[in-house]
Amino acid sequence: MYVVTQGGTLDFSETHSDMSYVFINDSSQCSVPLLQACIDGDLGYAKRLLESGCDPNIRDSRGRTGLHLAAARGNVEICRVLHKFGADLLATDYQGNTALHLCGHVDTIQFLVSNGLKIDICNHNGSTPLVLAKRRGVNKDAIRLLEGLEEQEVKGFNRGTHSKLETMQMAESERFNISCMAGQ
């Protein structure tokens, strides 16, 4: 068992069956094990790390957050815990993929979309989560769900609310328009 102490220090108290965790005493670095916990599906360990103050938005060398890693593996419970502790649902990796782009599991897709992640977001290559799911050959139920959600999005059913990013972009655009009118 691993015990997280005050300040994020990890103490090794007994043998764990998976020795893939990285032990780091620097509290600013303690989220490296968080990413491994997301990969391994270790909900209890991920929760303890988050409770000790680990950053839920820490990234790996590809820019993926714990949410990306948990969603890719269909670990919806870890996604919920990360979200509860402030994980950014709009975070993109270095290729512009959200967690939804990497996901191929019905319950995880439902969680991400129900918490505001838009289905029609394109990555840097112009691919939506549906396009990538089809390329990866994810199960048919996940494909049908993504197709249905994308169809609803196109028809405007999910346009009643705006994501945080859309709201920020609209506010910036409004400020720009006001400053342009003031200058006329």
How far apart CA 33 and CA 27 sit, in angstroms, is 11
Q: Hey, what CATH class is 92-184 in?
A: mainly alpha
Mean pLDDT (the chain) is 78
How far apart CA 13 and CA 1 sit, in angstroms, is 6
**pLDDT tens-digit series, residues 105-134:** 999 999 999 999 988 899 999 999 999 999
Q: Where are the domains of the chain?
A: 92-184
The whole-model pTM stands at 0.68
